[in-house]
Amino acid sequence: CVLLTKNTDSAENLVSAYKAKLDILRKSNPRLPHISIGCTVYDPACETVENAFHRADNLMYSSKRAKRT
């Protein structure tokens, strides 16, 4: 899980780029892991870190479930 204090667009691009690179590397080494990442914006003025972490955690598990279907 990743908590950010800024816009998630750049984080989502980073996650996509990381996953794409891992997919390329996995072609030559199929034992490399598949990853699920949940990222969200955390604004301490609006919520607790626990709530933000819970939201990121839910996004990560949604990503895992989507891969299984």
pLDDT tens-digit readout, 5-42: 776 677 778 788 888 999 999 999 999 888 888 888 88
Q: Give the integer Cα–Cα distance in Å for 64 and 20.
A: 16
pLDDT at position 8 is: 66
The DSSP code sequence of the chain is -EEESS-HHHHHHHHHHHHHHHHHHHHH-TTSPP----EEE--TTTS-HHHHHHHHHHHHHHHHHHHH-
Reported confidence tier of residue 69, pLDDT bands at 50, 70, 90: low
Nearest to 3 by CA among 64, 45, 55: 55
The pLDDT of residue 4 is above 80:
no
Higher model confidence: residue 40 or residue 69? Answer: 40
Pairwise CA distance, residues 18 & 1, whole Å: 15
Does this model's pTM top 0.85? My answer is no
**How high is the pLDDT of residue 21?**
92
